[in-house]
Amino acid sequence: MTFSDTYVNTLTALGLDSYATDEAASKFEVLYQSLVAFNSHTNLTAITDEAGVILRHFADSITAAPYIGERSLNVLDVGCGGGFPTLPLAIVRPDCRFTALDSTAKKLTFVAQMADLLSLPITTLPARAEEVALTPEYRERYDLVVSRAVARLPMLCELCLPFVKAGGRFVALKGADGEVELAEAEHAITKLGGKLVSQKSFTLGEAGGRVILEIEKVRPTPATYPRAFAKIKKAPL
């Protein structure tokens, strides 16, 4: 089976077939080969087999694409790591503008290389979320903020919601315990100016359960948030 076949079959099984175009498959194949090559000298992921990367990195990231909607949005990925979900989302939605934020500069090197190679609308931002979220240049400037596999939801909300503009949304890609995390984060969501508008639970094939939480920014985040990371970690809202 070719890479394209595996990609198309994986997305179709998840109901994401509208993103399974030949053009996208071609770019994802280049991304996969580049990821494996870069990972040989700089650790980005423990998953390197073709089917595993397509399912657990590419398809998992693309599950956030329907939340972008029809408009071209200004999107921020908090804690993007090796580029997920930023890179897959930029491939399937090249009309949007993406900012990939991570505190580890060497991971952003790969993201920047792929943005250049595949002509993707991505800007990298090597910084700590809790620090740049306090600056006027980035605070409450984004239509959509996404994050995947970074922290439990109470902490994640404090890191992400300050970036979301009024009327914008924060989409958290969580594992099977996402509903448990949501219960833990109810106070944080309200405190930070958010409101849960949707939650979706599904199975990502053999990768197991997933939960996507969509939070709307209904009022500005109080100026005192986010706090220093040590305080966020020690006493989550």
pLDDT tens, N- to C-terminus, the chain (237 residues)? 899 999 999 999 999 999 999 999 999 999 999 999 999 998 899 999 999 999 999 999 999 999 999 999 999 999 999 999 999 999 999 999 999 999 999 999 999 999 999 999 999 999 999 999 999 999 999 999 999 978 899 999 999 999 999 999 999 999 999 999 999 999 999 999 999 999 999 999 999 999 999 999 999 999 999 999 999 999 999
List C-alpha distances in Å: 38 to 32, 42, 130, 148, 222. Answer: 10, 6, 28, 21, 41
pTM recorded for the entire structure: 0.95
Q: Assess contact for 151 and 130: CB atoms under 8 A.
A: no
What pairing do the DSSP bridges indicate for beta strands 122-126 and 97-102? parallel
Report the pLDDT value the prediction gives residue 1, as an integer from 0 to 100: 85
Cα angle 216, 176, 52; round to 5: 105
Give exposure, 100-124, as e/b (b: 16+ Cβ within 10 Å).
bbbeeeebbebbbebbeebebebeb
Report the pLDDT value the prediction gives residue 150, as an integer from 0 to 100: 82
From the number of C-beta atoms within 10 Å of its C-beta (0-12, 13-18, 19+), residue 3 rates as: middle
Helices 3-13/22-39 angle, 10° precision: 110
Q: Assess contact for 156 and 150: CB atoms under 8 A.
A: yes
Reduce the DSSP state of residue 203 to 3 states and report it. Answer: strand
Name the residue type at position 82.
G
Query: How far is Cα 47 from Cα 165, in angstroms, rounded to an integer?
Result: 35
User: If you ran DSSP here, which 8-state letter would residue 161 be given?
Assistant: G
CATH code for the structural domain at 70-234: 3.40.50.150
Report the pLDDT value the prediction gives residue 201, as an integer from 0 to 100: 96
Report the pLDDT value the prediction gives residue 76, as an integer from 0 to 100: 98
What is the end-to-end Cα distance of the chain in Å, rounded? 48
Report the pLDDT value the prediction gives residue 90, as an integer from 0 to 100: 98
Report the pLDDT value the prediction gives residue 149, as an integer from 0 to 100: 78
Please state the domain extents for the chain.
70-234
